[in-house]
Amino acid sequence: MAFDWEDHKSYMTVKRQKLQDQLEDVEGDGKIFSGVTIYVNGYTKPDADTLKEIICKHGGGYSYALTSRVSHVIATNLPTAKIKALSINSSKVCHPDWILDSVNAGSLLPTEKYELYSVSSKSQRKISFSPTAKKEAGPEDPPTKKDRSFVDEFYSHSRLHHLSTWASELKEFTSKNLPRAKRKFSMLSSGESLRRFGVKGVVHLDLDSFFVSVGLRDRPGLHGQPVAVTHARNKEGEADTTEVVGVSLHQSMSDVASCSYEARDFGIRNGMSVGEAINLCPSLTFIPYEFEKYHAVSQTLYETVITYSHLVEPVSCDEVFIEFSDYVTSWEELGDIVKSLRSEIEEKTGCKVSAGFSHNLLLARLATRKAKPNGQFHLSEEEVEGYLKETPVASLPGIGRKMKEELSKMGVSNCGELREVSLPKLREVFGPKTGYTLYCFARGIDNRDLTTKKERKSISVEINYGMRFEQISEAESLLTQLSEELQSRALDTGVLGSSISLKLKIRQKTAPQETKKYLGHGRCDNISRSQQLHIPTNDSGDISRVAISLLKQLSPNPSDIRGMGIALNKLSSSVKGSPVKGGKMADIRTLMTSSPGKRSPASKRSLGSVLKSERGGEEGASVSVMREERVEYQNTAAGDGCTSFESAMLDLPPASQLDQSVLLALPSDLQEEVFDSYSKRQDKERVTLEPVSTEPSLANPLFPPSLSSLSNGNPERFLNETRTHIKAWVALYPAGPKERDSTIFIQFLISLIDLNALEIVSLSLKCFHRVVQSITNEKWREAYARVVAVIQDEVLMRYNGHLSIPP
């Protein structure tokens, strides 16, 4: 599974040596690349300069920009075959080995085997159907085109991703361990504690310039110097750096993630580009990220903090609130505890901590400003007024760039001035809630209680970096990867979602194709769309199917996509770490017995100018029909008691007891369908390679379903079960179906439509049709016709397409 980079390296070394020999041999007489002009995209091995040298030496051309004279784009290891930083019309995208091998061969080799995005390279991408069937990747697999996961590669380097991950982790750690942590102090009686005055004692702890502190801890030589943490690096002070960065740091767009206080004196700020920073301070030293160390430090921070109080509110990996109301009798006493807490943390982690404390969350936080660096500060009741007066509004929590700007238009820059603005005025400008908060905060009023645990409301995955697609199928493929990532997180967190939403960043019409920051997203419009599910899920197959369907609804121009994200909302809990699959039948039962959720009609939202095409207007008619239909069956679903179809579901024998005989008893054509659908399912690669619909605004109505989430991922078993229910149902009511059963069946099919499992819907209807035919009862036929009509409408509404079902 793991790619052997060592081997690859030596392979490359040999190759380069050979190449060198060739170069010496040929020296000018080679015209291997005549007529070829290359453009090198991104990082390649060998690098662009080497390739340029080679290509020119052998009669080819080299271009610094992707112009029309470029015949071949050269790229290595663009993290996945889906990501392209290129918008290419006719030129081929090839691996640099094409050049090396051609030189070695002494002639221009066909590009076929070297094209990065060819069908053959894509089909290597497998979703292992059975976990036991390990990677089929043979040893002869060309090591040069390894399809490493872009998602993993990106996340492992993303500081923001780490920040978020650690924050959630620490929130979970706190809520789990806080109640049973051993405390250093015991609580005082309510008569003695600070609380007796009705006063809270809140401490806000914050590690000083977190990343830099950790870096400096192990680099004593850099203490007292301007230092910044970034991906872009020079060789200063680092044992592990051997090369000088090719591009001057002066023009690096890499972010400064964290900088020392000495660096701040030069005007350097977190989030600045390395280029800007080095202009402000040419002697600035750059040190690399050390994510593991940061992680360990924050873990220690939290382990320590929870031994001090039972009231701890996590903020982030380097920031936390602690309430001491029940442990101290005076502010002086609290000051002492804070001091020892700070020194304990510094001792354990080697990092300096600052602390602000006061009688509410807001003021404690504001006090920390004055405490930094490496200090502590008590903001007392009496000082609040004066302190706030001079506090810039931007340091109030919740006021960022936009709000600061908005306030400044009103002539407000500090809290003193903010107080001059009336409550009605603030509400008018910022809305009722925000206005009120602003009004309170300007006066130091904050009645929030410290929250030790908060329930998670959503879980999401998104990447807004390095997204460059040519084909929509590449975007879909990335969504599949994101879905897998999301599944794995949902599994870890133990949640299921009943709503899936897709978020896209789309290049603004007026924004340039080439972003200022390398592979950045540039100026974008954000659009999103969500889909409610009747069955909560955490299955990546379900998620990706829905996400892809949402993508089709938004139908962006693939080359304008600059970012994508998927979120799971309306969470419920599942058993942690156990895949949904086992519990899925239970979910289906829930579905079958619960009343239908409220559903929104296919609303016509303007998706703005970013959309290539809008959907046709004639769909409006079917929407209203659909709504009437919906009302009808919602009303009839009001009765209670177990009906036959329902009970058939509930009495379902364990799947393991459904034997072959059930299947074999079916008409043979149905059996075939069952198996067909199963075998189709296995050829997932083929499916993903299907040509993209020529109508980008329409989803394919027969989009292949993944059954992995149903009946333990066993589709034929699932269909068997469905068929069994239908048979039992029909047999029980020879005179005609119970209305409610029809309703339940419809709901059930609609939930499959939610998951885009249209093929299964179709097959289920076929089952129904067949059983009904054998009964030849007018009522049943009517029921069948009605079910078909409702489902057809539903599909029509969602996809503006049609479902092929039996007459």
Partner DNA sequence: ATCCTCCCCTAC
Partner DNA sequence: TAAGGTAGGGGAGGAT
Touching DNA, residues 311-330 (CB under 7 A): 315-319
Among 97, 525, 646, 759, binds DNA (CB under 7 A): 525
Query: Does 417 belong to an annotated binding site?
Result: no
d(CA 296, CA 318): 11
Rule CB under 7 A: is residue 526 a binding residue for DNA? yes
Query: Does 628 belong to an annotated binding site?
Result: no
Rule CB under 7 A: is residue 600 a binding residue for DNA? yes
| DSSP string across 69-106 | T--EEE-S--SSTT--S---SS-EEE-THHHHHHHHHT
We find the least distance from the C-beta atom of residue 502 to DNA, in angstroms, to be 9
DSSP 704: P
User: Can you read off the two tokens belonging to residue 56?
Assistant: 């020119």
Among 97, 115, 208, 255, binds DNA (CB under 7 A): 255
Cis-peptide, bond into residue 705, ω within 30° of zero: no
Among 135, 180, 182, 605, binds DNA (CB under 7 A): 605
We find the least distance from the C-beta atom of residue 806 to DNA, in angstroms, to be 32
- Asked if residues 86 and 160 have their Cβ atoms less than 8 Å apart, the reply is no
We find the least distance from the C-beta atom of residue 783 to DNA, in angstroms, to be 26
Cis-peptide, bond into residue 558, ω within 30° of zero: no
Rule CB under 7 A: is residue 102 a binding residue for DNA? no
d(CA 76, CA 66): 16
Among 567, 707, 750, 752, binds DNA (CB under 7 A): 567
We find the least distance from the C-beta atom of residue 429 to DNA, in angstroms, to be 8
Among 23, 127, 167, 692, binds DNA (CB under 7 A): 167
Query: Positive or negative CA dihedral for 709, 710, 716, 719?
Result: negative
Among 148, 157, 176, 235, binds DNA (CB under 7 A): 157
Query: Which has the closest alpha carbon to 120: 111, 112, 110?
Result: 112
What secondary structure, in 3-state letters, does 374-399 show?
CCEEECCHHHHHHHHHHCEHHHCCCC
Q: CB within 8 A of 86, min separation 6: which ones? A: 41, 66, 73, 75, 93, 468, 470
Q: Which is nearer to DNA, 607 or 666 (CB)?
A: 607
Rule CB under 7 A: is residue 692 a binding residue for DNA? no
d(CA 745, CA 772): 14
Q: Which is nearer to DNA, 135 or 598 (CB)?
A: 598
DSSP 556: B
User: Residue 524, SS3?
Assistant: strand
Q: Which is nearer to DNA, 21 or 614 (CB)?
A: 614
Among 522, 579, 736, 801, binds DNA (CB under 7 A): 522
We find the least distance from the C-beta atom of residue 733 to DNA, in angstroms, to be 33
Residues 135-154 that bind DNA (CB under 7 A): 153-154
Residues 761-790 that bind DNA (CB under 7 A): none
Number of chain residues interacting with DNA (CB under 7 A): 92
Q: Which is nearer to DNA, 205 or 337 (CB)?
A: 205
Among 132, 242, 510, 603, binds DNA (CB under 7 A): 603
d(CA 659, CA 720): 9
Query: Does 333 belong to an annotated binding site?
Result: no
Among 350, 416, 494, 520, binds DNA (CB under 7 A): 520
Residues 26-85 that bind DNA (CB under 7 A): 41-43, 79
Buried residues in 346-379 as b, exposed as e (16+ CB within 10 A): beebebbbbbbbbbbbbbbbbbbbbbbeeebbbb
Buried residues in 242-271 as b, exposed as e (16+ CB within 10 A): eeeeeeebeebbbbbbbbbbbbbebebebe
Rule CB under 7 A: is residue 155 a binding residue for DNA? yes
Query: Which has the closest alpha carbon to 62: 37, 44, 91?
Result: 37
d(CA 783, CA 798): 23
Q: Which is nearer to DNA, 184 or 627 (CB)?
A: 627
We find the least distance from the C-beta atom of residue 182 to DNA, in angstroms, to be 27
Q: Which is nearer to DNA, 357 or 465 (CB)?
A: 465
User: Residue 529, SS3?
Assistant: strand
Residues 362-401 that bind DNA (CB under 7 A): 396-401
Question: Residue 754 belongs to what H/E stretch?
Answer: helix 739-754
Rule CB under 7 A: is residue 499 a binding residue for DNA? yes
Among 208, 262, 326, 462, binds DNA (CB under 7 A): 462
Rule CB under 7 A: is residue 639 a binding residue for DNA? no
- Per-position x/- string for 224-243, each x denoting binding to DNA as judged by CB under 7 A, each - no binding: ------xxx-----------
We find the least distance from the C-beta atom of residue 213 to DNA, in angstroms, to be 13
DSSP 209: T
We find the least distance from the C-beta atom of residue 265 to DNA, in angstroms, to be 20
Rule CB under 7 A: is residue 264 a binding residue for DNA? no
Residues 417-456 that bind DNA (CB under 7 A): 430-435, 437, 454-456
d(CA 265, CA 50): 41
Q: Which residues are annotated as a binding site for Mg(2+)?
A: 206, 318-319
Q: Which residues are annotated as a binding site?
A: 206, 318-319
